[in-house]
Amino acid sequence: MTWSADDLAALLATVRRPGDFFAAGTAELLSPRLEVDGVGIVALPLLPAQAIALAAAADPAPYGRGTETLVDPSVRHCRQLGPDQVQIGGRHWPRLIEDIVRRAAAGLGVDGPVSAEFYKLLLYEPGGFFVGHRDTEKAPGMFATLVLGLPADAAGGDLVVRHRGREVRLSLRPEDPAEVAFAAFYADCVHEVLPVTEGYRLTLVYNLLRQARGRPPQPPDYTAEQASAAALLRRWCDGKRSAEDNTPEKLVYPLEHAYTPAELGFAALKGADAAVATVLDTAARDAGCELYLALLTVEESGAAEYAETYRRRRRWGEEDEFEAGEVFDRSMTLSDWRRRDGDVPALGEIPVEAGEFVPLNACDALTPDEEHFHEATGNEGASFERTYRRAALVLWPSERIFAVLSQAGLQVTLPYLGNLVERWAAAGRDQQSRLRREAEDLAGHMIARWPSRDRFSRSDDTPGDTARMLDLLTRLGDAGLIARLLTEVTAGGNYRKADNTAILAALRGLPQRQAAALVERIVTGTAVSAFAACADLLARIATAWEQDQSAAALSGAAVRLTEALPGGHTRSAPDEPRRPEARVGPAAVADLVTALMTIKPSLAERAVDLMLASPRLYGADTVLVPAARRMVIHGSLQTGTAAERLRMACVAHLRTRVAEPLEPPADWRRESALPCRCRACADLSRFLADPAQRSWVLKAAEAERSHVEDSIRQAGADLDTATDRRGRPYSLVCAKNQASYERRATQRRQDLEDLAHFAG
């Protein structure tokens, strides 16, 4: 049978009545007045001396068997005082009892008036207890017992209550001396007081009565629903273990009532929400799932439409002229996590996917908490944005916590993984430890969901998320995950030069054969899109491996990269469209030649042949000379014939240029060819060719002035220009300079410097 969220939703829809077989809590105890015949006023917390006096005034408590009441210290070891011997009151007391009774009734799922009738004061001395029993109906309308634990210094004495296979253990010892603890349970529940190990335990027992006639209330019984829900959840969990799983990663059940983030908690759930939470709690536990309470926030934006009411001529700008149309963007996140036990786990914000709701269309019926409309502006139509906030119960299989966490993306998982790795390292790097297993589990899910591009498109020299991940995996020393990341993510195209340091560090921990194979995968996958990064990687790893003569292991990667050199076209299949030529810069050329010379010199020859044959792609001044300069700096120019040839080509190019005459202009004649022959440009050209005229003024309208300025810029003419704003129209003032000569002089200095380097 297939899993369906709607089956679970239909089942939960039948769970309406809240309440459990017990209710418990604490309340503030404001100076009550407790007076006992023969003892006087009893101070609270109970003092040992008064406990002794109380014990003396009280009688051994009997227990009921059938119609008899018996005293047997092996069944019940405790002393009691009846209502005729005990007066309890004070100004705050009635309100306290009222509050506790209300909370107890709500917890038991009983509505309608309920009253409490004081029955006994019980004192348990050290060793006191009461074995499992059911309370007899001591008054008409009694449906439950309420026990108040008064402040006293005792240990042990927990109250255990059982109902239909479930059991709770409640401490009736208030943690604070100014508090009272309470517990209420249905009359048919078996309960037991465990032995008091130290000190005295002081309780007040009340009968809870309902005034209404009819059948006494019973605890809601959702045993069947719980079992069905557990079966559904189990089916879902089983499905998630199968390879073809397409079920949601988690389940999100929006609640009925509204809760503020401050009051959000399992204990504060109202009505049916509380009932569903109780059913799901048991079911989740049975099925191996985790149950959380969280705040669901849905944010939507989209196009607004003018509503029909517009026709009735409302005032322009009133919001209700609009209605929400198509939704363009929707974000759904869970935050403010709570656990059943009141714990607040640091799960952060986790996104919700559309298929995770129970029922699947749970969001359709929601009404927004906030809605805003924006009128149309020049370039955008009318729009709206709205927000929904709901509490939701959230479930996932316990074993898949990291799959769920990785939905939150790398900004959450990377720091989380970092923390796991850190704690694992601090705890002694145990290969079998839970922390390591968790780190590996999480990392696996992260790689499976790794984005094809980085979160932010940072510049190429900032290490990205992949580099951070590699650092963590390297610390973890996990070869399998390193290989997966490099194959699935890096070789898949999410690769930048700045990742190389992390990649090299990661590869150092792997066997050389495996490292070489991974480098080849990366180069095969990304040589075209990230040529320079690949060349840098290859050069760095070849240099590192040169020492132990194992660089030849990289020849596969070297061949791939050489094949990807622009201008090569060695591998293009005939029907493959020619890819546009990417340009390769000087750093990549230097890296490539350096790497190839170390790995396989014949490849370096091939690469240099190709570069020298394609001056359009590998310009001497733009690529080859700066590349040779880098190789000089790195000392890799002398080592092989390929580099030597590259160097000689550069030297020849530079020598030719150095041989050209270089003198400052002797007069004011300047290069006068211009791209335009209009009248103004013709005048300008004549002025440039004139050996005696130094400056020229064009008085003309803006269009003509800027046309002439364009011509000057395009021709690279040796002119400084300025606009003279005196008189109308303005004037363009052109003064000759020596810019071409200065450029050539600078070039000459650089050429001589390069020659000195390359020849030396």
Ligand X SMILES: O=C(O)CCC(=O)C(=O)O
396 forms part of the interface with ligand X (CB under 6 A)? no
Write out the binding residues for ligand X, residues 200-229 only, by CB under 6 A. Answer: 203, 205
Place of tokens 């009411």: 309
705 forms part of the interface with ligand X (CB under 6 A)? no
Rounded least distance, CB 67 to ligand X, Å:
17
Write out the binding residues for ligand X, residues 544-583 only, by CB under 6 A. Answer: none
135 forms part of the interface with ligand X (CB under 6 A)? yes
Residue 450 partner contact from Fe ion, ligand X, none using kind-dependent CB cut-offs of 5 to 8 Å: none
Rounded least distance, CB 51 to ligand X, Å:
15
440 Cβ contact partners less than 8 Å away, ≥ 6 residues apart? 476, 478, 481
Q: Which is nearer to Fe ion, 161 or 410 (CB)?
A: 161
Site string for ligand X, 71-110 (x = CB under 6 A): ----------------------------------------
Q: How far apart are CA 23 and CA 2, in angstroms?
A: 38
553 Cβ contact partners less than 8 Å away, ≥ 6 residues apart? 512, 513, 516, 545
Rounded least distance, CB 393 to ligand X, Å:
32
Q: Which is nearer to Fe ion, 192 or 422 (CB)?
A: 192
The kind and range of the H/E element at 261 are none
Write out the binding residues for ligand X, residues 458-477 only, by CB under 6 A. Answer: none
> How far apart, in Å, are the Cα atoms of 183 and each of 25, 146, 243, 612, 640?
7, 6, 48, 91, 89
Rounded least distance, CB 63 to Fe ion, Å:
9
Q: Which is nearer to ligand X, 136 or 361 (CB)?
A: 136
377 burial level (CB within 10 Å; 0-12, 13-18, 19+): exposed
Q: Which is nearer to Fe ion, 184 or 498 (CB)?
A: 184
Q: Which is nearer to Fe ion, 135 or 718 (CB)?
A: 135
193 forms part of the interface with ligand X (CB under 6 A)? yes
Residue 268 partner contact from ligand X, Fe ion, none using kind-dependent CB cut-offs of 5 to 8 Å: none
Residues recorded for the chain = 760
130 forms part of the interface with ligand X (CB under 6 A)? yes
Q: Which residue spans within 340-376 are E strands per DSSP?
A: 350-351, 370-374
- Report residue 569: phi and psi, to 5°: 50, 25
Q: How far apart are CA 360 and CA 89, in angstroms?
A: 54
Question: Under rule CB under 5 A, how many of the chain's residues touch Fe ion?
Answer: 1
Write out the binding residues for Fe ion, residues 644-663 only, by CB under 5 A. Answer: none
Rounded least distance, CB 158 to ligand X, Å:
9
Q: Which is nearer to Fe ion, 135 or 385 (CB)?
A: 135
Rounded least distance, CB 115 to Fe ion, Å:
19
Q: Which is nearer to ligand X, 131 or 303 (CB)?
A: 131
Place of tokens 């199968």: 242
Tokens representing 47?
């003092």
The kind and range of the H/E element at 61 are none
Q: Which is nearer to ligand X, 44 or 122 (CB)?
A: 122
Percent helix, percent strand, percent coil in the chain, to nearest 5: 40, 25, 35
Q: Is the dihedral of CA 463, 466, 469, 470 positive or negative?
A: negative
Of 34, 86, 159, 443, the residue at the interface with ligand X (CB under 6 A) is 159
Rounded least distance, CB 80 to ligand X, Å:
8
Residue 688 partner contact from Fe ion, ligand X, none using kind-dependent CB cut-offs of 5 to 8 Å: none
Q: Which is nearer to ligand X, 34 or 483 (CB)?
A: 34
Q: Which is nearer to ligand X, 103 or 757 (CB)?
A: 103
Q: Which 3-state string (H, E, C) describes 97-121?
A: HHHHHHHHHHHHCCCCCEEEEEEEE
- 203 by DSSP, 3-state: which? strand
Rounded least distance, CB 134 to ligand X, Å:
9
Tokens representing 222?
């959702």
Rounded least distance, CB 123 to ligand X, Å:
9
Write out the binding residues for ligand X, residues 161-180 only, by CB under 6 A. Answer: 172
- 185 by DSSP, 3-state: which? strand
Does residue 390 contact residue 261 with C-beta atoms inside 8 Å?
no
Q: How far apart are CA 472 and CA 537, in angstroms?
A: 20
Q: How far apart are CA 236 and CA 247, in angstroms?
A: 7
Alpha carbon 145 to its chain centroid, in Å, reads 48
Rounded least distance, CB 17 to ligand X, Å:
26
DSSP string, 419-467: HHHHHHHHTT--TT-HHHHHHHHHHHHHHHT--SS-SS---TTS--HHH
Q: How far apart are CA 112 and CA 105, in angstroms?
A: 9
Residue 159 partner contact from Fe ion, ligand X, none using kind-dependent CB cut-offs of 5 to 8 Å: ligand X
Write out the binding residues for Fe ion, residues 131-190 only, by CB under 5 A. Answer: 135
Q: Which is nearer to ligand X, 203 or 413 (CB)?
A: 203
Q: Which is nearer to ligand X, 50 or 203 (CB)?
A: 203
- Number of residue whose CB is nearest Fe ion: 135
Site string for ligand X, 109-128 (x = CB under 6 A): -------------x------
Residue 205 partner contact from ligand X, Fe ion, none using kind-dependent CB cut-offs of 5 to 8 Å: ligand X
Q: Which is nearer to ligand X, 202 or 362 (CB)?
A: 202
Rounded least distance, CB 170 to ligand X, Å:
9
DSSP string, 640-684: -HHHHHHHHHHHHHHHHHHHS-----SSS------S--SHHHHHH
Rounded least distance, CB 204 to ligand X, Å:
9
- Number of residue whose CB is nearest ligand X: 203
Write out the binding residues for Fe ion, residues 106-135 only, by CB under 5 A. Answer: 135
Q: Which is nearer to Fe ion, 135 or 290 (CB)?
A: 135
110 Cβ contact partners less than 8 Å away, ≥ 6 residues apart? 19, 143, 144, 210, 217
Question: Under rule CB under 6 A, how many of the chain's residues touch ligand X?
Answer: 10
Rounded least distance, CB 190 to ligand X, Å:
10
Rounded least distance, CB 130 to ligand X, Å:
5
Residue 290, CB-side half-sphere exposure with 13 Å CA sphere: 18
Rounded least distance, CB 191 to ligand X, Å:
6
Q: Which is nearer to ligand X, 136 or 706 (CB)?
A: 136
Residue 172 partner contact from ligand X, Fe ion, none using kind-dependent CB cut-offs of 5 to 8 Å: ligand X
- Report residue 735: phi and psi, to 5°: -125, 135
Rounded least distance, CB 82 to Fe ion, Å:
15
Q: Which is nearer to ligand X, 138 or 468 (CB)?
A: 138
For residue 496, give the nearest of 539, 447, 463, 472 by alpha carbon. Answer: 463
438 burial level (CB within 10 Å; 0-12, 13-18, 19+): middle
Type of residue found at 479: A
Q: Where along the sequence are the contacts to ligand X (CB under 6 A)?
A: 122, 130, 135, 147, 159, 172, 191, 193, 203, 205
Q: Where along the sequence are the contacts to Fe ion (CB under 5 A)?
A: 135
